[in-house]
Each structure stands twice: as C-alpha cells, then as structure tokens.
Chain A
Amino acid sequence: QQQVKQSPQSLIVQKGGISIINCAYENTAFDYFPWYQQFPGKGPALLIAIRPDVSEKKEGRFTISFNKSAKQFSLHIMDSQPGDSATYFCAASRGRGGKLIFGQGTELSVKP
C-alpha cells in the first residue's frame, strides 16, 4: 500500500517531442504528489507538485495530470530539450511533514 510504481524505467525522446512518465499509487491517504528531477551526482530538485483536488497543473513546459479515481498521475514534458536529460522521480506523501515515498525513477534521454 505504500508503494509508488513508476514507468517507464527509461525513455528516449527526440528533441521537440513530448516526454510522458507515469506513476500509480495504492494508498488513498496520499495527498501530495511531487515530481523531482535529478542530474548525475546531484540531489533531486523539485519540479512541480500537485494535490488531489485538481486534475492538472502546468508550469512552463511541465504538466502534471492527476486521475484520482484511477490513482494515477503523470508528468508531461512538452518540447523536450537535451538539457531535460536526467532521471525523474515521482513521489507521494501523506499530509504535511509526511515522508515521501518515491517511484523507481525514469532515466530520460532527449536526443538532438
């Protein structure tokens, strides 16, 4: 019930294309769903986050889509750029101060 499942494990996208990463969770008590970007040798950086009372949130080229009934959420990166090549992690937590449960990560490679 604590797991967050992320797919795909790796993704190759051409420059200008759309990158889509999916996550699914079991615990309906989760109420905070962030996405993190991590470059090699660095800590994760918060990209965008959503709460279950909205179905979509957009910040620049990054969009989270949230389907509460299906217990799924996804990250869409529009106009993907080589600089977006990194590992992306979805996560979920319960309440303020709750510990984050991470997905397995997706290694994104954007080809020029």
Chain B
Amino acid sequence: GAVVSQHPSRVICKSGTSVKIECRSLDFQATTMFWYRQFPKQSLMLMATSNEGSKATYEQGVEKDKFLINHASLTLSTLTVTSAHPEDSSFYICSARGTRGDTGWTFFGQGTRLTVV
C-alpha cells in the first residue's frame, strides 16, 4: 500500500518554543493532505486541510496562527506548532489523499507524539 511518512515520531519541547512536523507521501502524489489531533482514547479531530500551493483550510476553533501549515509540494506538508504550551501536548497525525482508480484513498502517517514541558 501507499506510504505516508511522518517525522518526528516523538518530540519533547520547552514551553514557548516552536515545533515542526513533516508529512511526506513517499510513492504517490498527494493533492490534499490533512492534519489531525488525537487525545488519548478519543477519535481523530480534523484540524486543517491543505492543498498543494494554496492556503490551508482550518476547522472551526483551530487557531491558524498557532498551527501553521505549509503544503509546498505534492509530496510534503508541514505543521508548525508555534509558541507551544503544555495544553498543545497531543498526538498529531497527518494523512495524504491520492487517487487510485475511481476512488480517492487516504493513507495516514505514523503520528507524532508532542510533549510540551
């Protein structure tokens, strides 16, 4: 199956610093990438949708100035958590949607565990 690589898998940062998470589609072109946040034992909460070459669309309640998303190419999207605080600690997951036949398929990265201390 298609591979989506997310890096880093774990990161610990100090409060007030910024953290960048990368999401790459390794064997297909992803016209659309999604970023999710997941709290323990909960479902995935969509944060934003990014399309290559255009500004990301953020879900209601998500601070776009805090969670900066860049989709510079058809294989790379980045999420930067700016001025991170302990409440930003969470599991962040990206997904990339390509096309296969007449159905769009979405594949997920491995996730990034962010801990802000």
Contacts and interface: CB of A to CB of B under 8 A. Distances in A.
Contacts of B6: 43
B23 to A, nearest CB: 10
Which among B43, B97, B108 has the highest number of chain A CB atoms within 10 Å? B43
Interface size class of B (residues with CB under 8 A): 20 to 34
Majority-rule SS of B interface residues: strand
B34 A46 contact: no
Contacts of A42: 110-111
6 contacts: A43-B109, A44-B108, A46-B106, A46-B107, A98-B104, A100-B46
Given A97-B104, A98-B104, A105-B43, 7 more contacts: A36-B108, A43-B95, A46-B107, A89-B43, A93-B106, A97-B32, A107-B41
Interface of A: 32, 34, 36, 41-46, 49, 51, 89, 93, 95-100, 102-105, 107
